[in-house]
Amino acid sequence: MTQALAGLYLPQIRMDFAAIERRARVAEEAGFHSAWFIDHLAPPAARELDLLDAWTVATAVAMRTERLHVGHLVLCAELRHPAVLAKMAASLDAVSGGRLELGLGWGSVAKELTDYGFTDPGPAERAGRLAETIDILRLLWTGEPVDFDGAHWTLRDAVCRPRPAAGRVPIHIGGAGRRLTLPLAAERADWWNCPSSAADRLAELRPSVGSARVSVQHPIGLAASSAARDEVAETARRRFGAWGGVVTGTPDEVAAALARERDAGAELFVCQFHDFGTPETIRLFAEEVLPALDRPATPERRGT
């Protein structure tokens, strides 16, 4: 069994860069694998709020850390031409020493696309465009000239250099739609990110993504003690209850809940904490929850 990994979800809303940087540095020191951001032109439900650009934040965090991987859950593929995205990804991966995780989706907020002047051909076509985008990325990352004739994109003698540090960048596809998203993950992703809303169906959905590795995204209310459990649980419910998949409790209780997903094949747990990732909570998860996820499954966890 591979080592369980932890990711810190830091959507850049109501959080300036200084706060994001502090949390990312603490996560790196605590042994987290990665930090993850969002990709929108404005917060979907609150356009009056500030929102730092997704790629700028990921680049800045990569430059302020040494080992922490950076990525997005997920980048909207519709916002960037695949050749431009290939160049951006290869460049950030090269300058960060191979620490980019490329999370991609075909666009969860159609109104955002049309409001900002992008076309919306509908979910099926957007999913098809994403499939071609991934094919183009991997061709361009070879560093060789690329000709591509697809239903959505055409390239002639296109070259992308420098290449990514390891020759390619891991591609994560997030979502749980059986008709469009899961087939994409099975056919083209290195990782499938199971959203919190579908975490209770992880074991059921896992066979649909083939050989892709699995990450699970959760809002987590992590209480330092039993005495703090109720207050932390209420905070998590108030902030993230609409998302589904909220996990709350003491470190032992949170570890037990996540261990069932670990047994179902999850390797990476992307956490948005009830307090938005204070240093104390980040360290508590790293020290008391993450090690428990590498212990052998108990009969209770196996359901026997």
| CATH number of the domain where residue 280 is located | 3.20.20.30
pLDDT in tens, 97-129: 999 999 999 887 889 999 999 989 899 999 999
> Residue 303: pLDDT above 70?
no
Please write the tens of the pLDDT for every residue from 246-272: 999 999 999 999 999 999 999 999 999
Nearest CA to 23 out of 283, 289, 235, 268 is that of 283
* Contacting residues for 203 by C-beta, under 8 A, at least 6 apart: 264
Residues 59-111 have pLDDT tens digits of 999 999 999 999 999 999 999 999 999 999 999 999 999 999 999 998 878 89
- Chain centroid to Cα 175, Å, comes to 10
Q: Which residues, listed in sequence order, are joined to residue 193 by a DSSP beta bridge?
A: 174, 215
Whether the Cβ atoms of residue 28 and residue 65 lie closer than 8 Å to each other: yes
The pLDDT of residue 204:
96
Structural domain that includes position 217: 5-302
Average pLDDT across the chain, whole number:
94
Record the pTM.
0.94
Number of domains in the chain: 1
For 219-250, the three-class secondary structure string (H helix, E strand, C coil) is EEEECCCHHHHHHHHHHHHHHHHHHCCCEEEC
- The mean per-residue pLDDT over the stretch 37-50 comes to 92
Residue 37: its H or E element: strand 34-37
Can you give the pLDDT at residue 304? 30
Q: What's the confidence (pLDDT) of residue 299? A: 46
